[in-house]
């Protein structure tokens, strides 16, 4: 069976799907990922086929928005949410044609992340192909918590659900031009699209131990469990990192993923001071933030698999993106979340409620003093480490990718080698 996985966004929006795709590939399916050109190496390194989507201009807007969240910048810096929606509307027809083209390239089953789901649904209906939503965040409105893209407390069941519907309306508005464009070009009626939406199966790539399935979700909305990113084969730490890890007690990890603060030098100095005030060693990941710090008790690293690095840390300080949050939980180490935007405050709150974190520090309020205090609590209070290990043990019993595999094969009629491009000859990269 030929399976297409379509996703867009930062590294954290792509990496989990490499693990999901690898699991599907091992089951005998041909798997192709359609995503940004800049993710081609990551996808191909995982043994999956790659189909480029012209989405890098939209991804850059998110990077610019993250830069606007940096310390010392005003509210008008970067792109506002309204400007992001406007940019998405401008690019939506181009994105729609690209998504439809990828879907029409011989796939038997289509899997869409939330970032491309509005367009993917139209393409699936127009091409008469079975499809599944594979989401990293719980975006469906619910009475149980407010929408994850808004940083706000719960206002009660009625308000939570109403706000969730408002958030969905905003997302729909962003993709509306592309949806209408595809409907016209593929001959999809509003009635047919509405019917598909109400029965569309969606599997969420996080653990029910972290976010239990809301009781008011419709049938077909499932919480599958995490999809762990594919790991580079034969990876070992370079000599600098290996020597640093051996030379003292477990350090504290500090990294902000695809977030790009406006003043990386200032942030680097803040992190070094926090480490010294806390009396701990540190490993700082440069990532999009462009961090580069030096010192006897701190090391800057580039791309390192979190699954290999995090278990050797005393705690992890991060931006609370969905993927980094998951990696920290899997490693069984405490966390200090420093959320910046979108769903990050939601995941930070989950870490606190799970008992693996002493509290969150919003990035705009980050200081060396409050970061050092949080790190000291996370490292030295045994309750956080003990609870982190308990959660990690729960996650180790789950098989999120396996649940998606079973659902996809059932959707396709249970024939794991059938359909266009099926059979063992269909294995391997598609491009």
CB-count burial class (<10 Å; 0-12, 13-18, 19+) for 57: exposed
pLDDT on residue 231: 85
Rounded Cα distance between 253 and 249, Å, is 13
CB 177 within 8 A of CB 119: no
pLDDT on residue 345: 94
pLDDT on residue 281: 96
Q: Pull the structure tokens for residue 162.
A: 């109403």
Q: Kindly report the CATH number that applies to the domain delimited by 2-226+398-426.
A: 3.40.50.2000
SS3 283: strand
pLDDT on residue 225: 96
pLDDT on residue 371: 97
The reply to whether 239-395 shares the fold of 2-226+398-426 is: yes
Rounded Cα distance between 138 and 338, Å, is 20
The closest of 220, 189, 217 to 202, measured between CA atoms, is 220
Q: Kindly report the CATH number that applies to the domain delimited by 239-395.
A: 3.40.50.2000
Rounded Cα distance between 85 and 74, Å, is 20
* Token pair 């019917």: residue: 195
Q: What is this structure's pTM? A: 0.88
pLDDT on residue 291: 75
Dihedrals φ, ψ of 226, to 5°?
Answer: -65, 150
One pLDDT digit (tens) per residue for the chain, 431 residues: 999 999 987 788 899 999 999 999 999 999 999 998 888 999 999 999 999 988 665 554 444 443 433 443 333 334 445 555 666 677 778 888 999 999 998 999 999 999 899 999 999 999 999 999 999 999 999 999 999 988 888 889 999 999 999 999 888 888 898 999 999 999 999 999 999 999 999 999 999 999 999 999 999 999 999 999 998 777 888 899 999 999 999 999 999 876 666 777 888 889 999 999 999 999 998 876 677 777 789 999 988 899 999 999 999 999 999 999 999 999 999 999 999 888 999 999 999 999 999 999 999 999 999 999 999 999 999 999 999 999 999 999 999 999 999 999 998 774 433 333 333 333 333 33
In the DSSP assignment, the letter for residue 54 is S
How many helices (H) and strands (E) would you count in the chain?
15, 12
pLDDT on residue 249: 95
Contacts with 238 (C-beta within 8 Å, 6 or more apart), sequence order: none
CB 314 within 8 A of CB 333: yes
Residue ranges per domain, the chain?
2-226+398-426, 239-395
CB 125 within 8 A of CB 196: yes
């Amino acid at each position: 069976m030929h399976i297409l996985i379509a996703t867009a966004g930062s590294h954290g929006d792509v990496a989990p799907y490499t693990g999901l795709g690898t699991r599907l590939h091992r089951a005998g399916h041909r798997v192709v990922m359609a995503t940004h050109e800049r993710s081609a190496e990551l996808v191909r390194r995982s043994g999956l086929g790659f189909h480029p989507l012209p989405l890098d201009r939209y991804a850059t807007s998110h990077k610019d928005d993250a830069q606007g969240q940096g310390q010392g910048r005003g509210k008008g810096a970067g792109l506002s949410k309204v400007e992001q929606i406007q940019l998405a509307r401008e690019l939506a027809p181009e994105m729609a044609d690209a998504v439809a083209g990828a879907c029409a390239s011989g796939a038997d089953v289509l899997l869409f992340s939330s970032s491309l789901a509005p367009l993917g649904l139209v393409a699936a209906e127009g091409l008469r192909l079975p499809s599944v939503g594979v989401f990293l965040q719980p975006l469906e409105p619910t009475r149980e918590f407010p929408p994850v893209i808004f940083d706000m407390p719960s206002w009660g069941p009625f308000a939570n659900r109403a706000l969730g519907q408002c958030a969905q309306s905003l997302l729909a508005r962003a993709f509306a031009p592309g949806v209408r464009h595809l409907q016209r070009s593929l001959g999809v009626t509003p009635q047919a699209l509405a019917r598909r939406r109400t029965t569309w199966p969606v599997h969420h790539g996080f653990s029910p131990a972290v976010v239990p399935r809301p009781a008011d979700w419709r049938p077909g909305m499932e919480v599958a469990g995490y999809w762990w990113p594919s790991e580079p084969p034969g990876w070992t730490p370079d000599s600098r990192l290996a020597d640093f890890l051996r030379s003292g007690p477990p350090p504290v990890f500090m990294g902000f993923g695809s977030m790009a603060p406006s003043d990386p030098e200032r942030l680097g100095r803040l992190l070094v001071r926090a480490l010294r005030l806390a009396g701990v060693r540190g490993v700082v990941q440069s990532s999009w933030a462009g961090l580069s710090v030096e010192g006897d008790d701190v090391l800057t690293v580039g791309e390192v698999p979190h699954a290999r690095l995090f278990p050797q840390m005393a705690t992890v300080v991060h931006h609370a993106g969905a993927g980094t949050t998951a990696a920290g939980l899997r490693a069984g180490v405490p966390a200090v979340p420093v959320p910046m935007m979108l769903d990050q405050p939601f995941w930070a709150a989950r870490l606190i409620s799970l008992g693996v974190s002493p509290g969150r520090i919003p990035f705009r309020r980050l200081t060396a003093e409050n970061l050092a205090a949080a790190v000291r609590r996370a490292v030295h209070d045994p309750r956080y480490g003990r609870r982190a290990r308990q959660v990690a043990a729960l996650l180790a019993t789950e098989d999120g990718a396996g649940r998606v595999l079973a659902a996809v094969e059932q959707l396709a009629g249970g024939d794991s080698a059938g359909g266009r491009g099926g059979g063992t000859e269909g294995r391997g990269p598609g491009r």
